[in-house]
Amino acid sequence: MVEGTKSYSWTFLTNHTHVLVCIARNPNVVLKDVASQVGITERAVQRIVSELEADGFIARQKEGRRNRYLLTLKKSLRHPVEKNCDIQDLVQLLK
């Protein structure tokens, strides 16, 4: 959770969405910073990034010792309720 914000028992978006939005805002972001912004452990962020990458929602591109993350903007969301939306729609809404 971001420092100085109230703790809530639930949110409208998942941690996967939070991580994706952080990456969309800064493709060169360090996962430690994503963990801090989302309010989860760095290990949890690494797991989420691996899942997003495995399912084709993001791609990891090495730039020296760092990673740059590229979103697959035309990839449809997974849940049947939002399957008519793609990553680009989500990012434009939340970015």
Evaluate if residue 80 carries a pLDDT over 90: yes
Rounded Cα distance between 72 and 69, Å, is 10
Decide which of 5 and 88 is more confident: 88
Residues facing residue 63 across a β-bridge: 66
Per-residue pLDDT tens digits for 20-71 = 999 999 999 999 999 999 999 999 999 999 999 999 999 999 999 999 999 9
**What is the 3 state secondary structure string of the chain?**
CCCCCCCCCCCCCCHHHHHHHHHHHCCCCCHHHHHHHHCCCHHHHHHHHHHHHHCCCEEEEEECCEEEEEECCCCECCCHHHCCCEHHHHHHHHC
Question: Phi and psi dihedrals of 33, rounded to 5?
Answer: -70, -35
Rounded Cα distance between 5 and 83, Å, is 32
What confidence score (pLDDT) does residue 82 get? 92
Per-residue pLDDT tens digits for 6-31 = 667 788 999 999 999 999 999 999 99
Domains located in the chain, CATH noted: 15-94 (1.10.10.10)
